[in-house]
């Protein structure tokens, strides 16, 4: 899974657009960064920037944002309604996909150290990145705000985690940055079939982690109970990591429970939806749908879709688009207005349409166009891409049998067994579909290397190395196709032996396609590998390919024996 981090820095300028634009430009100048949102606030004199990218790109962009903020914002002149301690006030790293909160915390600490080492700007580390337990709370790090920094820096207990021993001109101008790592926050509103704010608040109190104040007799109007120190006693709600209130929305004419899920690992969106629905039903109300505010990681909707499929005892081995559609319909995310995952899911927003179209040029074609392209004078797509596609079709057939078996009448107790096979088949199919275009790209890379200049000895050497590297890559890609296609045999064998008997021939065709894919890709390994100057490496690749090809022939025979045995009775 691709590693993606979100960063949501808050800068202490919300009025001067030229200053804001300079900071955003510094962030966006880093390759691989996509700025998703810029939200300035005049009263708070504060701007929240949201951007995403790979860990390395995000760290560099965050650093450049802090550097630029220190140059264009003078904290000695700053006033605003929001608490703040620096030109860049908070700098949280948020895991989106392929990376853990703990890894983000380590990166945040390294970023804080770099900011002080290279810019001289002091840093506190908060939430998951905190060095001290009390500093997990941002309010502790920011206590006293910018004005308290001279006193805090001279106090060993309150000085920054990375900072100078005394107050200086850099601190006076830039203040201090609070660098942290936190889980992704999902903002969601639950729509109620009611106009009552009071009922919505009651549901919010039922479910939010903080809960409500405990009252005498367990009533909602009795006297608030106190502990021995005179503090109010609170009854916690049912959902961990959730904050919620109830309100009325004029635009829609309904009451909503508005929630921030601050820990989607402890409380996934679908769990929160089900619990709010339960709490609403207990009070005679119904949740008619939900409204996601802002953006979400793809995993939030995929996990929800899988949850509802499992509840229906339906196979999970379907496409991502179908799983997401189940999530949208199950939680009625389109209750108030259309819901388009490509406008709400971070990973989709990060995609460059033109770049993605070029990367998937072949697999986006219809069947006739793909066949016509293959038949044309162009040498690519050729046997390597066709082999990958045959393997993908073999995996697709095995997955189809698994899905049909999962939903077969009378086999309800076996739905998960076949669902698991379908999930495996989907993964193999995706891998092989990706290799269709990658094989053609590998060939194009060889052609590009041969087209490099060769006027000088230095150019000849560079060209020769490029050709060798491209040839090695072009040998490795079909070998990956062989390995991926070989995985189809396990699926095809299981479906031939255990799957829906009415589809046993489909399992057999899947095995035939897989065998052709393995043998076809083997030819491509061999024809490319013989062009390598590194003959030892060439021999190694060819030997591995020929071994897999021989095993594929045996696998195909065994599966066809099962298929023919069932067909012949």
Given the residues 89, 161, 263, 439, select the one marked as catalytic: 439
Q: How many helices (H) and strands (E) does the chain have?
A: 19, 13
Nearest C-alpha neighbor of 326 from the set 261, 343, 315, 337: 315
DSSP sequence for 148-190:
GHHHHHT-TTTS-SB--SS--HHHHHHB-EEEEE-PPPEEEEE
Confidence of residue 230 (pLDDT cuts 50, 70, 90): confident
The answer to whether 472 touches 532, Cβ cutoff 8 Å, is yes
The stretch 222-245 carries a mean pLDDT of 88
The stretch 89-95 carries a mean pLDDT of 95
Claim to verify: residue 409 and residue 552 sit in the same structural domain: yes
**Region at 519 (left for phi over 0; alpha for psi -120 to 50; beta for the rest):** alpha
Domain range for 271 = 186-344
439 is catalytic: yes
Question: Which of 322, 344, 366 is the C-terminal boundary of a domain?
Answer: 344
pLDDT value of position 509: 98
Given the residues 82, 303, 320, 420, select the one marked as catalytic: 82
Burial class (CB in 10 A: 0-12, 13-18, 19+), 366: exposed
Buried b (16+ CB within 10 A) or exposed e, 408-441: beeeeeebeebbebbbbbbebbebbbbbbbbbbb
> What's CA 158's distance to the chain center, in Å?
36
CB atoms within 10 A of CB 299: 19
Confidence of residue 246 (pLDDT cuts 50, 70, 90): very high
The stretch 340-355 carries a mean pLDDT of 85
Claim to verify: residue 110 and residue 197 sit in the same structural domain: no
Give the CATH number, domain containing residue 547: 1.20.120.680
The answer to whether 261 touches 292, Cβ cutoff 8 Å, is no
Instruction: Name the least confident of 38-42, 101-105, 404-408, 449-453.
Output: 38-42
Query: Chain-wide mean pLDDT for the chain?
Result: 94
Claim to verify: residue 443 and residue 474 sit in the same structural domain: yes
Claim to verify: residue 121 and residue 90 sit in the same structural domain: yes
Claim to verify: residue 442 and residue 317 sit in the same structural domain: no
Residue range 367-377, pLDDT digits in tens: 999 999 999 98
Confidence of residue 358 (pLDDT cuts 50, 70, 90): confident
Claim to verify: residue 445 and residue 403 sit in the same structural domain: yes
Please determine, for residue 389, whether its predicted confidence score (pLDDT) is greater than 90.
yes
pLDDT value of position 219: 67
CB atoms within 10 A of CB 33: 20
Confidence of residue 220 (pLDDT cuts 50, 70, 90): low
The residues, ordered by sequence, that sit 6+ positions from 557 with a Cβ below 8 Å of its Cβ are: none
Report d(CA 94, CA 27) in Å as an integer. 16
Claim to verify: residue 210 and residue 258 sit in the same structural domain: yes
Claim to verify: residue 241 and residue 326 sit in the same structural domain: yes
Question: Which of 151, 181, 211 is the C-terminal boundary of a domain?
Answer: 181
Rounded-to-10 torsion of CA 15, 19, 25, 27: -80
Total number of domains constituting the chain: 3
pLDDT value of position 129: 97
Claim to verify: residue 407 and residue 525 sit in the same structural domain: yes
pLDDT value of position 351: 81
Q: What percent of the chain has pLDDT over 90?
A: 83
56 is catalytic: no
Please determine, for residue 464, whether its predicted confidence score (pLDDT) is greater than 90.
yes
Look at the block and give the residue holding tokens 């078996």.
Answer: 405
CB atoms within 10 A of CB 102: 12
């Amino acid at each position: 899974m691709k590693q993606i981090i979100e960063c949501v820095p808050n800068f202490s300028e919300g009025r001067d657009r030229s200053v804001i634009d300079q900071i955003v430009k510094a962030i966006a100048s880093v390759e691989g960064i996509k700025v998703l949102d810029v939200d300035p606030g005049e009263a708070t004199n504060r701007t929240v920037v949201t951007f995403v990218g790979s860990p390395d790109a995000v760290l560099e962009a965050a650093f450049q944002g802090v550097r630029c903020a220190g140059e264009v914002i003078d904290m000695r002149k700053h006033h605003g309604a929001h608490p703040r301690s620096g030109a860049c006030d908070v700098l949280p790293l948020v895991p989106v996909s392929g990376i853990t909160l703990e890894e983000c915390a380590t990166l945040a600490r390294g970023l804080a150290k770099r900011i002080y080492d290279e810019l001289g700007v002091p840093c506190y580390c908060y939430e998951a990145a905190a060095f001290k337990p009390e500093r997990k709370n941002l309010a502790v790090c920011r206590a006293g705000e910018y004005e308290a920094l001279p006193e805090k820096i001279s106090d060993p207990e309150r000085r920054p985690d990375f900072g100078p021993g005394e107050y200086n001109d850099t601190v006076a101008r830039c203040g201090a940055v609070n660098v942290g790592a936190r889980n992704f926050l999902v903002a969601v509103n639950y729509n109620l079939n009611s106009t009552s704010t009071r009922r919505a608040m009651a549901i919010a109190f039922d479910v939010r982690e903080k809960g409500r104040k405990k009252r005498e007799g367990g009533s909602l109007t009795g006297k608030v109970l106190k502990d021995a120190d005179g503090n109010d006693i609170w009854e916690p709600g049912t959902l961990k990591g959730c904050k919620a209130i109830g309100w009325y929305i004029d635009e829609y004419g309904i009451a909503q429970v508005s929630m921030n899920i601050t820990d989607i690992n402890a409380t996934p969106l679908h769990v929160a939806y089900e619990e709010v629905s339960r709490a609403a039903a207990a009070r005679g109300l119904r949740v008619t749908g939900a409204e996601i505010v802002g953006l979400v990681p793809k995993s939030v909707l995929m996990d929800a879709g899988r949850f509802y499929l499992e509840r229906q005892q339906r196979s999970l081995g379907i496409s991502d688009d179908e799983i997401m559609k189940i999530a949208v319909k199950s939680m009625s995310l389109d209750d108030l207005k259309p819901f388009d995952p490509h406008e709400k899911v971070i990973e989709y927003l990060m995609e460059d349409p033109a770049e993605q179209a070029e990367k998937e040029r072949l697999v986006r074609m219809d069947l006739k166009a793909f066949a016509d392209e293959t038949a044309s004078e162009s040498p690519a797509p050729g046997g390597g891409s066709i082999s990958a596609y045959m393997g993908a079709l073999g995996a697709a057939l095995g997955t189809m049998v698994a899905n049909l078996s999962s939903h077969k009448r009378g086999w309800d107790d076996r739905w998960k067994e076949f669902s698991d096979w379908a999930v495996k088949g989907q993964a193999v199919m995706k891998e092989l579909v990706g290799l269709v275009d990658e094989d053609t790209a590998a060939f194009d890379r060889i052609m590009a290397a041969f087209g490099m200049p060769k006027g000088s000895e230095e150019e000849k050497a560079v060209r020769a190395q490029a050709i060798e590297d491209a040839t090695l890559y072009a040998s490795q890609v079909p070998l990956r196709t062989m390995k991926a296609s070989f995985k189809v045999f396990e699926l095809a064998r299981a479906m031939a032996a255990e799957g829906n008997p009415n589809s046993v021939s489909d399992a057999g065709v899947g095995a035939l396609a897989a065998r052709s894919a393995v043998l076809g890709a083997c030819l491509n390994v061999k024809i490319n590998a013989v062009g390598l100057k590194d003959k030892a490496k060439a021999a190694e690749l060819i030997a591995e390919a020929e071994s897999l090809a021989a095993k594929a022939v045996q696998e195909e025979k065994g599966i066809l024996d099962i298929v023919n045995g069932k067909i012949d009775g």
